């Protein structure tokens, strides 16, 4: 079936998340640009870039959800990949320039398993030059395209587990479960260095970014060919449901109206499950009917009660519109 024309859909107030199965050969920015046209809104972002050659889960933020990204960032990630042994490249994958090659005759599954086990747990990882991190205001990948290298500070990551699913003479397939912020290409590069043969990432597919998984994702062809409202009805996660990962504080009608007017609220009892003295966006403030009105944090008041300090107030909650 041929792709439908990119005619802009009517603007929609829909807010929430849409998981997309990104194909190889396009950027994460390309996915966002196409989704903006199909869904008829410019208010779209994403949770975590995928390289152009990578495939799999890319979670889009739509509408007011763009103001809530920190709620879902930093969760456990799962990737399926292929490591190609005996080669080192400047990009740490097979798209880069080959820097060195080495024989792999001495490699066997037991050596690979042992080396990957040593790259498990809490680690310090030096980000690759081909990343979106910035150095003095400039993206590292832009610097790398000029053939330059700059110092990068190691960052703390956690690798929960490597699962090796097949072995061939020069390559092996794996699934790795790791923390957010982990560069799998660098894990593979470091694995090759530990083995003494070198290694580069040959293929990568993101399977999960907690609490989302590839099973929830809309196929790229469906996003291209079906009307935006239909895609959202089938695959979208409305904001009310998506914010279910946070503890909730329920407001009565008067408190909801006060919230909409930007007032700080005082509560005698925020609830047993609310994080007291938590971060700025650690609780979702809901109306009596369960609708998400705002994100905020709870802080102790002088009289022993608790203050709710809203940080993000959604448009429908302004002036009490979401009180019902």
Whether 4 is covered by a domain: the verdict is: no
- Residue among 293, 283, 211 nearest 252 (CA): 293
Whether 10 is covered by a domain: the verdict is: no
Determine which one of 6, 21, 51, 93 is catalytic. 51
Name the domain boundary from 160, 188, 208: 208
Whether 104 is covered by a domain: the verdict is: yes
Whether 11 is covered by a domain: the verdict is: no
Q: Mark whether 297 and 232 lie in a shared domain.
A: no
Q: Mark whether 221 and 191 lie in a shared domain.
A: no
Name the domain boundary from 208, 230, 256: 208
Q: Mark whether 226 and 267 lie in a shared domain.
A: no
State residue 143's pLDDT score: 62
Low-confidence ranges of the chain (pLDDT < 70): 1-12, 129, 131-138, 140-150, 269-280, 304, 319-324
- Residue among 47, 84, 55 nearest 206 (CA): 55
Contact 72, 61 (CB under 8 A): no
Q: Mark whether 68 and 175 lie in a shared domain.
A: no
Residue 51 bears catalytic tag: yes
Indicate the SS3 state at residue 222: helix
Phi, psi of 27 (to 5 degrees): -85, 165
Whether 5 is covered by a domain: the verdict is: no
State residue 88's pLDDT score: 97
Q: What pLDDT, in 10s, does the model give residues 56-75?
A: 999 999 999 999 999 998 88
Residue owning tokens 């587990």: 161
Range of the domain at 291: 246-320
* CATH classification at residue 45: 3.30.2350.10
Whether 6 is covered by a domain: the verdict is: no
State residue 262's pLDDT score: 79
Q: Mark whether 124 and 198 lie in a shared domain.
A: yes
Q: Mark whether 81 and 204 lie in a shared domain.
A: yes
> What pTM value is reported for the model?
0.87
Contacts of 102 (CB under 8 A, 6+ apart): 86, 87, 196, 197, 198
281-316 as b/e: b if 16+ CB within 10 A:
bbbbbbbeeebbbbbbbbeeeeeeebbbebebbbeb
Indicate the SS3 state at residue 90: coil
Separation between Cα atoms, residue 155 and residue 109, nearest integer Å: 29
State the CB neighbour count (10 A cutoff) for residue 268. Answer: 9
Q: Mark whether 155 and 184 lie in a shared domain.
A: yes
171 burial class (0-12, 13-18, 19+ CB within 10 angstroms)?
A: middle
| Structure-token pair, residue 244 | 């279910």
* CATH classification at residue 275: 2.30.130.10
Whether 9 is covered by a domain: the verdict is: no
State residue 92's pLDDT score: 94
Q: What pLDDT, in 10s, does the model give residues 194-209?
A: 999 999 999 999 999 9
Q: Mark whether 61 and 120 lie in a shared domain.
A: no
Angle between helices 228-235 and 28-39 (to 10 degrees): 110
Q: Mark whether 112 and 199 lie in a shared domain.
A: yes
Indicate the SS3 state at residue 69: helix
Query: 211: cis peptide before it, omega within 30°?
Result: yes
Whether 267 is covered by a domain: the verdict is: yes
Contact 83, 174 (CB under 8 A): yes
State residue 298's pLDDT score: 82
- Residue among 52, 39, 57, 32 nearest 219 (CA): 57
State residue 318's pLDDT score: 83
Q: Mark whether 230 and 196 lie in a shared domain.
A: no
Q: Mark whether 173 and 133 lie in a shared domain.
A: yes
Q: What is the mean pLDDT of the chain?
A: 87
Contact 297, 282 (CB under 8 A): yes
State residue 8's pLDDT score: 45
Q: How many domains does the chain have?
A: 3
Contacts of 133 (CB under 8 A, 6+ apart): 127, 139, 140, 152
Q: Mark whether 87 and 202 lie in a shared domain.
A: yes
């Amino acid at each position: 079936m041929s792709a439908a024309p990119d005619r802009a859909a009517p603007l929609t107030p829909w807010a929430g998340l849409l998981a997309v199965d990104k194909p190889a050969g396009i950027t994460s920015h390309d996915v966002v640009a196409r989704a903006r046209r199909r869904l008829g809104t410019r208010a779209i972002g994403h949770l975590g870039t995928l390289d152009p050659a990578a495939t799999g889960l890319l979670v889009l933020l739509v509408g007011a959800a763009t103001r809530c990204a920190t709620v879902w960032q930093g969760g456990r990630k799962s990737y399926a990949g292929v490591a190609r042994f005996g080669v080192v490249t400047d990009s740490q994958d097979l798209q880069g320039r080959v820097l060195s090659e080495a024989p792999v005759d001495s490699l066997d599954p037991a050596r690979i398993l042992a080396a990957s086990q040593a790259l498990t747990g809490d680690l310090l990882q030096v980000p690759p030059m081909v990343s979106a991190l910035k150095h003095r205001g400039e993206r590292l990948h832009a610097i790398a395209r000029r053939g330059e290298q700059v110092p990068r500070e190691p960052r703390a990551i956690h690798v929960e587990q490597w699962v090796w699913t097949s072995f061939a003479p020069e390559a092996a397939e794996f699934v790795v479960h790791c923390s957010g912020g982990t560069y799998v290409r660098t894990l593979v590069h470091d694995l090759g260095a530990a083995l003494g043969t070198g290694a580069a990432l040959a293929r990568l597919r993101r399977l999960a970014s907690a609490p989302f998984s590839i099973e929830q994702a809309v196929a790229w062809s469906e996003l291209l060919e079906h009307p935006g409202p239909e895609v959202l009805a089938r695959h979208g996660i409305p904001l009310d449901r998506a914010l279910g990962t946070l503890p909730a504080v329920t407001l009565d009608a008067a408190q909801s109206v006060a919230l909409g007017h930007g007032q700080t609220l005082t509560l005698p009892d925020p609830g047993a499950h609310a994080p007291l003295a938590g971060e700025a966006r650690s609780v979702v403030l809901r109306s009596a009917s369960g609708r998400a009105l705002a994100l905020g944090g709870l802080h102790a008041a002088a009289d022993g009660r608790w203050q709710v300090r809203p940080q993000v107030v959604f448009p429908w909650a302004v002036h009490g519109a979401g009180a019902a």
